[in-house]
């Protein structure tokens, strides 16, 4: 429910307001502050608050990472509770006491495994937060961090999209003032008029181009496409324009064009077609090259992840297993070890086991073997089960369309 509420909007202001309302309602607190972490400045900036004066929000804005109540939470990544600010001398500020805040609970905001800020819930009367309440606020903090990050990324995408639109507009204006190739052909396909740009496009002098049959410039596969365009325009049907077509220049080189075609009528009777074309051969080839390079880069990334995953599993994990066995044998066979030292060694043994599990988990997350063994769909289905078991998140896997 919380996730659905926070994901309803990609507006950062709306996300913050929803999070604050949610915390105040669920946690039954009077004060809520949300901080975003400025990674470059290494300080927390207030992005939303409720229940305190503007002066207090301004006083805690710009809190350094690791300093103060929320600054320590942002640095350690662990929830922090002050049950009574009146008796706390380490983290409670005079501004907090003047605001008559008695109990404070702060949790980190996380997104993609990184701390992005903090969420602070406070009361003006002494309050004992239960372990379940701390876990609940932590979960809300994680959801809020993800929602805020999604909103930020969406805002960046919109800005990039707007910049792209402006760039495309300037690009179109440049071409509108350029000398595009324009030619006219009659119903039989003979060119009756053309400009010098068209002559350059077809690769022949203008006098030679006039009267030429356009079919001799078309590859065999383009003739049915050209006939279909003629038929649709003669039938008065609309078509998507401009469209792409190929032609063979006089010298034999192939060119790729974007073309706009209009039917020319004389007193309601079709008399021919007007073409406005632009050579986009270089752009298409460049896009094809970029797509190829992108595939190569992606493949290299996947291979590197697979290599690291394999090294962790086959080398690091195996060495840890061997170390664990040696430690077990030592603890079980040495009868002269003092009990305190034996306990320390068994504690170290447990830490190594946890480290081994973490390495296995990291190796699995980098490149699950099921992805290579069984394919994408079984891997996603397995991941769904992991979400349900490890994170206790309700998840369902369905496939639409052909597998």
Looking at the structure, tell me whether residues 29 and 143 fall in a common domain: yes
- Mark which of 157, 190, 215 sits at the end of a domain: 157
Is 54 or 285 the better-scoring residue by pLDDT?
54
Looking at the structure, tell me whether residues 35 and 145 fall in a common domain: yes
Looking at the structure, tell me whether residues 146 and 255 fall in a common domain: no
pLDDT at 4 over 80: no
Peptide bond into 242 cis (omega under 30): yes
CATH number at residue 225: 3.30.450.20
Query: Does 169 fall in a domain?
Result: no
Residue for token pair 């699995």: 364
pLDDT digits (tens, 9 = 90+) for 267-296: 778 889 988 988 888 888 888 888 888 888
The confidence score (pLDDT) of residue 351 equals: 93
- Strand, helix or coil at 247? strand
CA 240 – CA 254 distance, rounded (Å): 23
Looking at the structure, tell me whether residues 229 and 288 fall in a common domain: no
The confidence score (pLDDT) of residue 50 equals: 95
Looking at the structure, tell me whether residues 320 and 196 fall in a common domain: no
CA 97 – CA 89 distance, rounded (Å): 11
Looking at the structure, tell me whether residues 236 and 199 fall in a common domain: yes
Looking at the structure, tell me whether residues 136 and 24 fall in a common domain: yes
pLDDT at 6 over 70: no
- Strand, helix or coil at 295? helix
Residues 6+ apart with CB under 8 A from 172: none
pLDDT digits (tens, 9 = 90+) for 63-79: 999 988 999 999 999 99
Residues 6+ apart with CB under 8 A from 309: 363, 364, 366, 367
- From residue 356, give the alpha-carbon distance in Å to each of 128, 161, 383: 37, 45, 20
Query: Does 60 fall in a domain?
Result: yes
| Mean pLDDT comparison of 121-125, 251-255, 376-380, highest-scoring range | 121-125
**0.75 cut: is pTM over it?**
no
The confidence score (pLDDT) of residue 82 equals: 94
Looking at the structure, tell me whether residues 129 and 143 fall in a common domain: yes
Determine the structural domain holding residue 378 and report its residue range.
369-403
The confidence score (pLDDT) of residue 245 equals: 87
pLDDT at 358 over 70: yes
Looking at the structure, tell me whether residues 358 and 399 fall in a common domain: no
Enter the tokens of residue 360: 């296995």
Number of domains in the chain: 4
Looking at the structure, tell me whether residues 132 and 241 fall in a common domain: no
**Res. 175 pLDDT band, cuts 50 70 90:** very low
Looking at the structure, tell me whether residues 339 and 381 fall in a common domain: no
* Residue 61 burial (10 A CB sphere; 0-12, 13-18, 19+): middle
Looking at the structure, tell me whether residues 11 and 139 fall in a common domain: yes
Query: Does 163 fall in a domain?
Result: no
Query: Does 98 fall in a domain?
Result: yes
């Amino acid at each position: 429910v919380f996730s659905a509420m926070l994901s309803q909007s990609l507006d950062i202001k709306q996300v913050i307001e929803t999070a604050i309302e949610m915390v105040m309602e669920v946690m039954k607190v009077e004060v809520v502050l949300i901080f975003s972490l400025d990674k470059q400045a290494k300080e927390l900036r207030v992005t939303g608050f409720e229940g305190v004066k503007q002066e207090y929000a301004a006083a805690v804005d710009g809190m350094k990472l690791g300093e103060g109540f929320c600054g320590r939470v942002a640095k350690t990544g662990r929830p922090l509770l002050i049950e009574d600010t009146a008796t706390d001398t380490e983290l409670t500020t005079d501004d907090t006491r003047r605001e008559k805040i008695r109990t404070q609970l702060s949790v980190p905001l996380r997104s993609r495994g990184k701390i992005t800020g903090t969420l602070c819930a406070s009361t003006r009367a002494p309050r004992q937060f239960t372990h379940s309440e701390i876990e609940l606020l932590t979960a809300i903090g994680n959801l809020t961090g993800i929602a805020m990050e999604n909103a930020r990324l969406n805002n960046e995408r919109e800005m990039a999209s707007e910049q792209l639109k402006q760039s495309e507009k300037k690009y179109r204006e440049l071409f509108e003032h350029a000398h595009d190739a324009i030619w006219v052909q009659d119903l039989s396909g003979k060119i009756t008029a053309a400009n010098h740009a068209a002559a350059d496009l077809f690769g022949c002098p203008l006098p030679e181009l006039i009267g030429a049959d356009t079919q001799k410039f078309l590859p065999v596969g383009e003739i049915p496409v050209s006939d279909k365009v003629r038929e649709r325009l003669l039938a008065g049907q609309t078509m998507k324009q401009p469209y792409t077509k190929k032609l063979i220049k006089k010298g034999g080189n192939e060119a790729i064009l974007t073309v706009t075609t209009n039917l020319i009528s004389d007193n309601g009777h079709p008399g021919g077609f007007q073409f406005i074309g632009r050579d986009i051969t270089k752009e298409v080839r460049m896009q094809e090259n970029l797509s190829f390079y992108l595939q190569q880069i992606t493949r290299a990334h996947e291979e590197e992840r697979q290599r690291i995953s394999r090294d962790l599993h086959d080398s690091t994990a195996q060495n840890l297993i061997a170390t664990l066995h040696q430690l077990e044998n030592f603890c079980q066979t040495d009868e002269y070890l003092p009990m305190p030292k034996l306990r320390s060694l068994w504690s170290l043994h447990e830490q190594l086991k946890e480290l081994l599990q973490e390495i296995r988990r990291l190796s699995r997350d980098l490149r699950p073997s099921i992805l290579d063994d069984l394919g994408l769909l079984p891997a996603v289905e397995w991941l769904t089960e992991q979400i349900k078991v490890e994170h206790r998140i309700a998840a369902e896997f369905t496939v639409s369309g052909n597998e």
